[in-house]
Structure 1
Amino acid sequence: MFVVVGEALVDLVGQRGSRTLVAHPGGSPANVALGLARLGDQVSLLTHLGQDSFGEMVSAHLRASGVQVDGGPGAGAKTSLAVASLAAGVATYDFRIEWDVGELAPLPVEARCVHTGSLATALQPGAAQVTDLLERERERGRATISYDPNVRPALLGSPEEARPGIEHLVSLSDVVKVSDEDLHWLYPDRRDVDVARDWLALGAPLVVVTRGGAGVFAVTAGLELDRPATPIDLVDTVGAGDSFTAGLLDGLGRADLLGGARREALAGIDESSLVSVLDEASLIASITCSRPGADPPTWAEVETARAARPSTRRSVPR
C-alpha cells in the first residue's frame, strides 16, 4: 500500500494571453496518487480539501480511479487553486493555497511507502506537520520514504532560504526524484550530477534527476546511470513529473524494493532493474505529455505503449 501526503487542488488552465480558464483536478502529490492508482496500486491520499464544489470535484476525480481520499479537517476551509498559463505546452503557475493537515497519525502497518513533496513540504503550518510525520516514520523504519521537492520559486523565497529544509527532507528519504530545473534554481552554479551525488551522501539510497527531453540521471552508492527520454508528440507538460514519480515508485514496488526491510536491497539495486524502472517511468510520463492536463495512463495503456518502445542502454559504473 502507498500513502501519499500532500496538496490536492484545482488547476485553472489557460493559454497565455487567453481569458478562458478550464478547471482540472491537480496538485503534485494528488497527481502521484492518481498515477499510482491507475497503475493498479492501492493508494491513500492524505490532503486538505475544502467542503466546496472544487473539493467535491477533486475528490470525485481521484476516487473514480481508486484513490482513497482523506480530505483532512476541511470545515470552513477552501480548496486550493493553481492558475496555470500554457505557452508552447509548458506550464507556469500562480498559486492560491491553504495547507494545514493537523496532527498526522502514524502510517497504517500495511503501508510500504509514503510519498510527499512540493507545496506540502514548503508551506506552513502543513510543512511542519508533514516533516514531523517523516521524522517519526524514519525512526520507525517500516516504510520507504519518497520525496520530490517540485520547487515552486514564487512560494519559497530565495534558494538560500529553501535549501536547508529541502536537504533535511532528502536526509530522511529513501527515494528522491528531482528535476534538473529544480536543482538549477536551488544550486545555480553547480551541475545536477554533483548535487545528486551530494544528496546521496546525505543518506538517500536512490536519487533520480529528470531532465525533460534530455532524459534521466540516477545515482546509487554503486551505480550511475543515464537514460534517454522517450520521444513524444508534446501536448503539454502538466503532471509529467508526477507521472514519472508514480511510475518510479510503482516500478520499485513491482521489483520488491519498497518497505523498511528492503532499504538495503533498494540501495543495492542492480543495473538491469534500475534501467527497467527508469525506462518505464519515462514511458509513463511521455504518455501523460501526449494528452492535455495531468492525465496519467492506466496499466493497460502502459503495456500497449511499452510493446512499441525501442530499447537502448548507457551506464556509467561507479
Structure 2
Amino acid sequence: MSFLVIGECVADIVRGADGTERVHPGGSPANVAHGLGRLGREVTLLTQLADDPAGRRIADHLKGAGVRIEVAGVPARTPSAVVGLDARGQATYTFDIAWTLSSGEPPVARPAHVHIGSIAAVTAPGAAAVLAEVERVRDRATVSYDPNVRPALMGEHGEAVARVERCVALSDLVKASDEDLAWLYPGQDPREAAARWLGLGPAVVLVTRGAAGSLALTRRETVSAQAPEVTVVDTVGAGDSFMSAVLDTLAGRGREDLSGLDAGYLARLLRRAGAAAAVTVSRAGAQPPDRAELDAAGERFALRYGRVS
C-alpha cells in the first residue's frame, strides 16, 4: 500500500529548560512520513526543501527511514522552529517558515492514502496546491488530516476555523489534540467539537489528550483509551507518531471500512497509537518507533493495562 504525505519539513531547534539547544529534523507532515517509513510502509513526502545544511540533514533523516522525497520548490532556507521546553518537557514553538507549494501532478500515480496537515494545509499560497492535490486523487484514495494548530501562524480566528473545516470536509479520518480543539472552538467540550467534524464528512475523528489518553468517535461509537505511564523527555513529535501508527494500523481499509469500525477495534487502534506516542516522548526529538519497538511497547501496554478484546 502506498502513502502520499504532503507538507512541510522544519528544522526543530529544541531549547531545553536549562538553556541547551539541539537541532532535530521536524515538521508535522515530515514526521508522519518518517514514522510510516520506520514502520516499513511505502511512503512519499511531497514537500519543499532547501539545499542547505539543515535541508540536507532532514533529507538524510527521511531517506534513512525509507521515505521517498519529492521536492516541489526550493526555498531560500530550510524553515525552522525554535522549540522551548518547560520542566515537564512540554513544547512551545516560534516559527520562521514560508509555504509556497505550486500545483502539479501528484508524485504517486495512484496513492492508496493521502495525509495532509499542519502549516502546509492552511498557509497561503501553498495550501491551495495541497487541497488541489487532495481533490485530484480523492476519488481513489482515502484521506487523513491533522490540523496541528500553530496559533501564531493561523491568522484571524474565524478564517482559520473555516480553512481547517474545509480540510476536515475533504478527509475520511481526522486527528486533533485537545489543545487544537480548544483554540479552534473555545469553551467547547472536545467531544462536541469532534461531533461537529463528523457532521462535515469524516468517518472517524480521533482526539489526543496527552497524559489523559485519547478518544475515537464515529457516528455510532465513542471510545476512550488511557495513555501509558512513561517518563517524558519531551513531547516533540508525539502526536505525529500517534498519527503514523493510526495510519499503519488502518492501512488497506477503504471508506466503507472506516465507517464500520466497531468499539473493540477503535480501542485497539487507540492503544497501539498511544504506545507509539509513549515511545516518542520517552526520547529526545521526534523519534518514532520502528515496528519491533512498537510491537514491544504495545505488548508492555497490554500486560500492564490489560488486553482489549
Q: TM-score scaled to structure 1, two decimals?
A: 0.92
Counterpart in 1 of 2:37? 37
Kept in 1: contact 2:213–2:227 (CA 8 A): yes
CA distance in 1: counterparts of 2:233 and 2:294, whole angstroms: 18
CA distance in 2: counterparts of 1:106 and 1:193, whole angstroms: 35
From 155, 163, 166, give the equivalent of 1:165.
163
Counterpart in 1 of 2:86? 87
From 198, 201, 204, give the equivalent of 1:200.
198
Counterpart in 2 of 1:273? 265
Aligned-partner residue type, residue 47 of structure 1: T
CA distance in 1: counterparts of 2:107 and 2:267, whole angstroms: 30
Identical counterparts, % of pairs? 46
Aligned-partner residue type, residue 280 of structure 2: T
Q: Does 1:48 align with 2:48?
A: yes
Aligned-partner residue type, residue 73 of structure 1: G
CA distance in 2: counterparts of 1:295 and 1:16, whole angstroms: 20
Counterpart in 1 of 2:72? 72
Aligned-partner residue type, residue 103 of structure 1: S
Kept in 2: contact 1:51–1:78 (CA 8 A): yes
CA distance in 2: counterparts of 1:177 and 1:185, whole angstroms: 15
CA distance in 2: counterparts of 1:250 and 1:57, whole angstroms: 25
Aligned-partner residue type, residue 106 of structure 1: P
CA distance in 1: counterparts of 2:282 and 2:43, whole angstroms: 25
State the Cα distance separating 1:22 from its structure 2 match. 1.7
CA distance in 2: counterparts of 1:303 and 1:182, whole angstroms: 29
Aligned-partner residue type, residue 220 of structure 2: G
Counterpart in 2 of 1:6? 7
Aligned-partner residue type, residue 9 of structure 1: V
Residues 1-27 of structure 1, C-alpha deviations (whole Å, 9 max, x = no match): 111000011011112462x42211100
Matches for 1:153-302 after TM superposition, within 5 Å: 153-253=151-251, 256-257=252-253, 262-302=254-294
SS at structure 1 position matched to 2:73 = coil
CA distance in 1: counterparts of 2:117 and 2:58, whole angstroms: 19
State the Cα distance separating 1:107 from its structure 2 match. 5.7
Matches for 1:90-105 after TM superposition, within 5 Å: 90-105=90-105
* RMSD of aligned residue pairs (Cα, Å): 1.7
SS at structure 1 position matched to 2:50 = coil
SS at structure 2 position matched to 1:12 = strand
CA distance in 2: counterparts of 1:117 and 1:195, whole angstroms: 18
CA distance in 2: counterparts of 1:107 and 1:215, whole angstroms: 36
Q: TM-score scaled to structure 2, two decimals?
A: 0.95
SS at structure 2 position matched to 1:264 = helix
Q: Which runs of 5+ in 1 are unaligned?
A: none
From 136, 142, 161, give the equivalent of 1:144.
142
Kept in 2: contact 1:85–1:92 (CA 8 A): yes
SS at structure 1 position matched to 2:297 = helix
State the Cα distance separating 1:277 from its structure 2 match. 1.4
CA distance in 2: counterparts of 1:82 and 1:106, whole angstroms: 28
CA distance in 2: counterparts of 1:276 and 1:107, whole angstroms: 33
Kept in 2: contact 1:226–1:314 (CA 8 A): no
More displaced 10-residue stretch of structure 1: 177-186 or 273-282: 273-282
Aligned-partner residue type, residue 118 of structure 2: S
Residues 13-64 of structure 1, C-alpha deviations (whole Å, 9 max, x = no match): 112462x422111000000001011011111000000111111110001101
